[in-house]
Amino acid sequence: MTVLIVEDERTLARELGIFLHNHNFACTVARTAAEARAQLADTPFDFVLLDLGLPDGDGLQVLAEAKQNELTAAVIILTARSAVEDRIGGLELGADDYLAKPFSLPELLARMHAITRRRFGLHKPRVACGAFELDLQTRQLFCAGQEVSLSVKEFNVLSYLVLHKNRVLTRLQLTEHIWGNLADTGFDSNFIDAHIKNLRKKLGQYADTDWLETVRGMGYRARL
Ligand code: CA
């Protein structure tokens, strides 16, 4: 999943970036309200972690504008402000959650996982895909109780397709999900094709993978 970290405190931004990267999130950092606006206009993130006190403006203003532009990302407000009005303001503008600084990183992660489960209507951490079961908490794939060993990137591609089941995801969307902001990395659609090929090969040793479809000229879809 992709995360935009809007935070002007360099140490905290770096700490968040490293922690979330280690938990398989692709992170982009914006240090000002202007940078945040530019990133949000450009990239469909899954999460936005939003500091309110930014050097060139108020995070709540950024949130209000992004919501007007039909922001789909889940938003967690991170702020030292403890004023009740700010919390209410943020939640009324459509933020999904609120953490007062200082907060613990595992708590942030637990809340992000809870939001993911709510958004995708998952009441159990395991999701079925064909004869397989994805465990989103332990990040394992099973077939008839047997674990199918996947690389981190293969798991990320597969879980993203399964969570957005029955929708065609383009190679660009899948690549952005895995590598984050492409401005730094360059875009090579062959990465995704190679991962899908490996996935089909690995999964095919256990059961049918017909549901993992190639949609010609468009991308891939988990038909479930
Ligand atoms: Ca700040």
pLDDT band at 122 (very low <50, low <70, confident <90, very high): confident
CATH number of the domain that residue 156 is part of = 1.10.10.10
Q: What is the pLDDT of residue 129?
A: 93
> Does residue 26 sit in the same domain as residue 85?
yes
pLDDT band at 79 (very low <50, low <70, confident <90, very high): confident
Q: What is the pLDDT of residue 163?
A: 86
Of the candidates 140, 147, 161, 154, which has an alpha carbon nearest to the alpha carbon of residue 197? 154
180 sits in the region (left: phi over 0; alpha: psi -120 to 50; else beta) called: left
Residue 141 CA to ligand 1 centre (angstroms): 39
Residue 55 CA to ligand 1 centre (angstroms): 7
Residue 45 CA to ligand 1 centre (angstroms): 21
pLDDT band at 181 (very low <50, low <70, confident <90, very high): low
Q: What is the pLDDT of residue 183?
A: 44
Name the percent of the chain lying above pLDDT 70.
94
- Name 50's bridge partners: 6, 77
Mean pLDDT is highest, among 79-88, 137-146, 174-183, 194-203, for: 194-203
> Does residue 96 sit in the same domain as residue 142?
no
**Cα distances (Å, whole numbers) of residue 180 to 3, 13, 79, 145, 188:** 8, 16, 24, 33, 13
Residue where a domain terminates, one of 69, 92, 119: 119
CA distance 175 to 124: 27
> Does residue 157 sit in the same domain as residue 60?
no
Residues whose beta carbons lie less than 5 angstroms from ion ligand 1: 8, 51, 53
Eight-class DSSP state of 158? H
> Does residue 8 sit in the same domain as residue 115?
yes
Domain holding 84, by residue range, is 2-119
Q: 10-22 and 105-119 helices cross at what angle (nearest 10)?
A: 60
